[in-house]
């Protein structure tokens, strides 16, 4: 027991030897400190950061939160560990991911149009590109992420009828329209190319590696060249014997998949060789007649998501089986699924055909995680959805809605 008037210990002052600059803890190399902290979970790391400024800095390092983030929903990491959002601190993404899991968000209708459309959109950094009738308009996202500017920064035109689908790759937009044409735009510049592609509307397009693939109501899929001297030249015409609703090029640039209307006895999901146009394989054997595939999405060269009229999201791994999907999720209200998107890790977002319903799914669970009804009382499909680590954008027949998961 110390004498009266003697100096008080750091503990008596409310301090901690662990937080003191003279503590033996700080004699350890930073690599060892980070190794010790790597065994902590999110809650323990958060509490550690409340001890002192130095520990708050140490416990906020991206290196420590990366392992935790890879197990969260939509935290910006793929299954392979690729960081899709390197500019945002990982700790902040983990916090926001909890809002995605629990459905905590602020909803806003950011754009409205007078007549009903079937819009499509792409999200790219500072801009959101949205098709409205025969044009594609580029809207700048607000700096604080709270929405987008009301007036477009650029308008891309060239179709005589509505744009059905378009893709945004690097500095180009490739679109297919109801007029049967394909239009290629250079985003920053007046350069554009237009060529007649199909006898009927071009329902879907994809563009990678200097090649365009397109699918049409005329029951064909085509491969087009964009190389110098061969721009707009058709390399292959694939007779699908069914209307093509969706199409996607494999990330390996060796094949492409078509999703068709399933009006015959052939699987609506088929994979074709990109170089020769020959059929490689069919996916699935138990599709019912009319179970058309409306959207397809490659996560990796071997992992593929599909959805459509039969109300199921299907997850295919072509390394293991082409006859049966490895996972499936059923839309609980028996609605057709118009669109899907994945964070390439644990989360899937889907858009339904009735009342603007957007659902979030965790691949590790069988049931829907969260549902959002964006159109009421007038029913509208969700024609397209896109999301970042903080916002989800859903395009309906008459409006564009945004869900902000940073503001629960």
- Stated pTM of the model: 0.89
Q: Sorting pLDDT into bands at 50, 70 and 90, what band is 7?
A: very low
Two structure tokens written together for 203: 């329902």
Confidence of residue 9 (pLDDT cuts 50, 70, 90): very low
- Which residues pair with residue 176 across a beta bridge? 165, 182
State the pLDDT at residue 211. Answer: 94
SS3 of residue 239 by DSSP: strand
Domains in the chain, CATH or no CATH each: 28-97 (1.20.1280), 100-404 (2.130.10.10)
Phi-psi region of 103 (alpha: psi -120 to 50; beta: other; left: phi over 0): left
pLDDT of residue 240: 95
| Tens of pLDDT, residues 348-392 | 999 999 989 999 999 999 999 999 999 866 789 999 999 999 999
Q: Which residues pair with 67 in a beta bridge?
A: none
pLDDT score at 36: 81
At residue 299, the 3 state secondary structure works out as: coil
> What's the CA gap between 173 and 166, in Å, rounded?
7
pLDDT exceeds cutoff 70 at 13 = no
pLDDT of res. 195: 93
Residue 4 has pLDDT above 60, yes or no: no
The band of 15, judged by pLDDT with boundaries at 50, 70 and 90, is: very low
What is d(CA 399, CA 408) in angstroms, rounded to the nearest whole number? 22
Tell me the per-residue pLDDT of 242-284, one tens digit each, with 9 for 90 and over: 999 999 999 999 999 999 999 988 899 999 999 999 999 999 9
């Amino acid at each position: 027991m110390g004498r009266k008037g003697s100096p008080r210990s750091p503990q008596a002052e409310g301090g901690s030897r662990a937080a003191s600059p003279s503590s033996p803890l700080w004699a350890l190399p930073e690599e060892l400190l980070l190794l010790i902290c790597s065994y902590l979970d999110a809650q323990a790391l958060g509490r550690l950061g409340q001890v002192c400024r130095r520990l708050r800095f140490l416990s906020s390092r991206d290196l420590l939160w990366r392992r935790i983030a890879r197990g969260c929903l939509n935290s910006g990491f793929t299954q392979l560990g690729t960081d899709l959002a390197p500019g945002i601190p990982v700790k902040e993404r983990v916090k926001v991911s909890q809002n995605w899991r629990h459905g905590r968000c602020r909803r806003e209708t950011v754009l409205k149009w007078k007549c009903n459309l079937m819009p499509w959109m792409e999200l790219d950094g500072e801009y959101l590109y949205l098709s409205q009738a025969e044009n594609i308009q580029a809207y700048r996202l607000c700096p604080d992420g709270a929405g987008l500017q009301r007036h477009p920064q650029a308008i891309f035109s060239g179709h005589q009828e509505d744009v059905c689908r378009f893709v945004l790759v690097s500095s180009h937009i490739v679109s297919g329209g109801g007029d049967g044409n394909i239009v290629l735009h250079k985003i920053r510049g007046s350069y554009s190319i237009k060529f007649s592609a199909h006898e009927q509307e071009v329902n879907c397009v994809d563009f990678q590696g200097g090649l365009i693939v397109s699918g049409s109501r005329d029951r064909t899929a085509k491969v087009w060249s964009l190389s110098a001297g061969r721009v707009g030249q058709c390399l292959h015409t694939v007779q699908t014997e069914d209307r093509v609703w969706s199409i996607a090029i494999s990330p390996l640039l060796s094949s492409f998949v078509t999703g068709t209307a399933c009006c015959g006895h052939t699987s609506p999901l088929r994979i074709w060789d990109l170089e020769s146009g020959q059929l490689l394989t069919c996916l699935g054997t138990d599709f019912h007649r009319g179970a058309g595939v409306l959207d397809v999405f490659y996560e990796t060269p071997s992992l593929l998501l599909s959805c459509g009229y039969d109300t199921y999201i299907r997850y295919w791994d072509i390394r293991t089986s082409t006859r049966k999907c490895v996972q499936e999720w059923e839309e609980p209200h028996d609605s057709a699924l118009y669109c899907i998107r994945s964070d390439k890790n644990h989360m899937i977002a889907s858009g339904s055909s009735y009342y603007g319903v957007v659902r979030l799914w965790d691949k590790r669970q069988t049931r829907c995680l969260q549902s959002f009804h964006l159109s009421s009382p007038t029913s509208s499909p969700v024609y397209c959805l896109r999301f970042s680590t903080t916002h989800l954008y859903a395009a309906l027949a008459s409006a564009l809605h945004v869900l902000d998961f940073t503001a629960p």
